[in-house]
Amino acid sequence: MGGQRVLAARRLLARTLDDTLPERDQVAAAHAVVAELGSPESLLELVTELASGAGDPEACAGLSYRHVLGFDKLLLVDSGPLHMLRAHVWHTGTDGTGREDIHNHRSTLASHVVRGRLCTELYEELPETGPGARVSAGIRAARFEETLAEGSADWLLAPAGPARLRLTHLGRYAAGSTYALPAHTLHRAWCDTDAPTVTLFLETGGRRRRHTDVFTAAGPHPAAVPKVPLNVPAYLDSLGALAELLRSP
């Protein structure tokens, strides 16, 4: 059952995000959507409504889970293959507040920091051979192609050879900040505060890439990384805890 805030969020997504737009305009539209929905007041109203059972809690719970890096990914609004609006919650005192592997996404993304602070790094891949290649340049990493397993949400990681990357940008985003990136952009993000950090995260666009690229300097990855979805009670409890966090100073 859709509540008032859920329906309003769906209408905003449908009205603002157009898959036929050029990529640059899609990025700008995604930026505008999360900035509007990510104000503490707006997000609190949406999360409170969802915590009461509005929307589709069974479907959203099945696509919500604790990420291997230690933050919660809570699906708020699922518009099929076009738009997925999530809350990301980094908790203090976990082992997962470190930096992600460098990666890109299947579609355009945007993130609004609701509370706390997020750091991001952007990278470009350097040629291994040919004009301009330097053996000592860049960060050496192992490259993987990441896909989703059929019949489950598990990540499958296939080795794709060595790579070299160069850092191009470092940003720190305090509460109220927004950034948006094209799907192919190589980046990583992490929370660098002792207080919990909450972001509103949107992936949008029907022209999704078939795989993402993942780079790590920490050695090989397992061939598959399981995702353990939340059940409905755990999902609703997580939304209730998020609402309390949004109400706190």
For 12-22, the pLDDT digits (tens) are 999 999 888 89
Beta-bridge partner residues of 78: 84
- Amino acid code (one letter) for 220: P
For 190-217, the pLDDT digits (tens) are 888 888 999 999 999 766 778 899 998 8
DSSP 65-124: EE-TTSEEEEEEEEETTTEEEEEEEEPTT-TT-SPPPEE--SSEEEEEEEESEEEEEEEE
Beta-bridge partner residues of 213: 145
pTM flag (> 0.85): yes
For residue 133, give both structure tokens: 């290649």
Q: Residues 100-139, buried b or exposed e (16+ Cβ, 10 A)? A: bbbbbbbbbbbbbbbbbbbebbbbebbeeeeeeeeeeebe
| pLDDT, position 136 | 52
Q: Which of 180, 7, 182 lies closest to 77, judged by CA?
A: 7
Burial of 99 (0-12, 13-18, 19+ CB in 10 A): middle
Q: Which of 184, 232, 242, 197 lies closest to 56, judged by CA?
A: 232
For 69-124, the pLDDT digits (tens) are 668 999 999 887 678 999 999 876 555 445 778 999 989 999 999 999 999 999 99
Topology (CATH) of 4-247: Jelly Rolls (2.60.120)
Burial of 2 (0-12, 13-18, 19+ CB in 10 A): middle
